[in-house]
């Protein structure tokens, strides 16, 4: 466009930013940037282990969830192996599977939720190595109860691994995180500092799982892939749980405001367990795309799901009050333009 957006509320970034303690520590670390990052992520893994009540051997740190998904697929998927996911779910996982020669089997959402029982049944039919399931989901922000995820595991076929992407788990209602034993070999969980902790640009993610699987990452991971400043920032962000609480309150208020803006314009929104809200534009994907284009033309950056019927929605990330004021001003005009086009 040749100019900055008035409101950047499309990439599910945390506009409220990281802990000031993390920023201070990262700034102070720059004088030592000539050094490599610690190859074992020792201090961060130890702190995460204490935070989650497990051993450091149950945690692998990597270059965001994207990087960890790539390592996982490289570790387990060979040419022709079946992998199951939802059609319209996080696409980066699919790119990794395709890149390593896996065969993707996709299933539709059910009532705007990823359909875990159906995914597991498809895994049984295809002999899948991996099943990808995000809870909460992106792009719809819907979620499943953790107890239901645990019960569904009874249907996971032998030799198949459930990849449980929990990037947005900090924003979700209590009981969303599945009560799965850390040494359960059927599941690997993915977490990140990109969302609730506000460190998307630092690229710090981590996997939680049974020690034998976690330690197998050492066979193929980039041992010096983590930037030392990112390691330091993530460690300080994890310590500052008070700031995390402030962020969660800001996100909750923003979700409510986005829903109000939608309602004021005659639209509905889906209940959200993430740091974004899916607004149902009430027609088809072409209409939603016209609304999105109208918002972007007016300086409000949003995105939308890319598979029907979820593509009837636009996806708005939680923003500052000023960001959402820009959305409130632009949405009526974008809707009017879309309805006449």
> 1: pLDDT confidence band, cut at 50, 70 and 90?
confident
Q: Give pLDDT tens digits for 4-56.
A: 999 999 999 999 999 999 999 999 999 999 999 999 999 999 999 999 999 99
In contact, 193 and 199? CB cutoff 8 Å: yes
Nearest partner of 200 among 22, 4, 59, judged by Cα: 22
Q: Strand 313-317 to strand 276-280: parallel, antiparallel, or no bridges (unpaired)? A: antiparallel
> 341: pLDDT confidence band, cut at 50, 70 and 90?
confident
Residues with Cβ < 8 Å from 65, sequence gap 6 or more?
A: 165, 167, 190, 191, 192, 194, 205
Average pLDDT, the chain: 97
List 3's β-bridge partners, or say none.
Answer: none
Q: Residue 209 gets which letter from DSSP?
A: E
231-254: average pLDDT: 98
Share of the chain above pLDDT 70, in %: 100
* Domains assigned to the chain: 7-16+242-340 (3.90.1150.10), 21-239 (3.40.640.10)
State which H helix or E strand residue 161 sits in: strand 161-165
**What would the DSSP string read from start to end of 136-151?**
S-TTT-----HHHHHH
> 265: pLDDT confidence band, cut at 50, 70 and 90?
very high
The answer, yes or no, to whether residue 250 has pLDDT greater than 90, is yes
The whole-number pLDDT of residue 316 equals 98
Is the CA virtual torsion 114, 115, 120, 121 positive or negative?
Answer: negative
> 336: pLDDT confidence band, cut at 50, 70 and 90?
very high
187-199: average pLDDT: 98
């Amino acid at each position: 466009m040749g100019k900055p957006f008035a409101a950047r509320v499309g990439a599910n970034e945390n506009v409220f930013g990281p802990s000031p303690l993390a920023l201070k520590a990262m700034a102070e670390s720059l004088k030592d940037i000539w050094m490599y990052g610690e190859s074992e992520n020792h201090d961060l893994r130890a702190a995460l282990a204490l935070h989650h009540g497990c051993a450091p051997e149950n945690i692998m740190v990597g270059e965001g969830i994207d990087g960890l998904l790539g390592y996982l697929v490289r570790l387990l998927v060979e040419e022709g192996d079946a992998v199951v996911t939802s059609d319209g779910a996080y696409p980066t996982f699919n790119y990794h599977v395709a890149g390593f020669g896996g065969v993707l089997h996709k299933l539709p959402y059910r009532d705007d939720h990823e359909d875990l029982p159906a995914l597991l049944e498809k895994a049984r039919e295809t002999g899948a190595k991996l099943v990808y399931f995000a809870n909460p989901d992106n792009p719809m922000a819907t979620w499943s109860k953790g107890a239901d995820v645990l019960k569904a595991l009874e249907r996971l076929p032998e030799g198949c691994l459930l990849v449980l992407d929990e990037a947005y788990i900090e924003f979700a209602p209590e009981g969303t995180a599945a009560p799965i034993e850390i040494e359960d070999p059927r599941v690997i969980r993915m977490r990140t500092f990109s969302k609730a902790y506000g460190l998307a640009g630092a690229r710090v993610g981590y996997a939680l799982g049974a020690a034998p699987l976690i330690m197998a990452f050492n066979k193929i991971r980039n041992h010096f892939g983590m930037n030392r400043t990112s390691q330091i920032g993530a460690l300080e962000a994890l310590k500052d749980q008070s700031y995390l609480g402030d962020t969660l309150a800001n996100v909750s208020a923003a979700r409510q405001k986005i829903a109000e803006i939608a309602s004021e314009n005659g639209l509905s929104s889906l209940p959200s367990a993430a740091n974004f809200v899916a607004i149902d534009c009430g027609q088809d994907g072409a209409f939603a795309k016209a609304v999105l284009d109208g918002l972007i033309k007016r300086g409000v950056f949003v995105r939308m799901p890319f598979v029907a019927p979820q593509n009837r929605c636009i996806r708005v990330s939680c923003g500052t009050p000023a960001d959402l004021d820009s959305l409130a001003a632009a949405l009526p005009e974008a809707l009017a333009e879309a309805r006449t086009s």
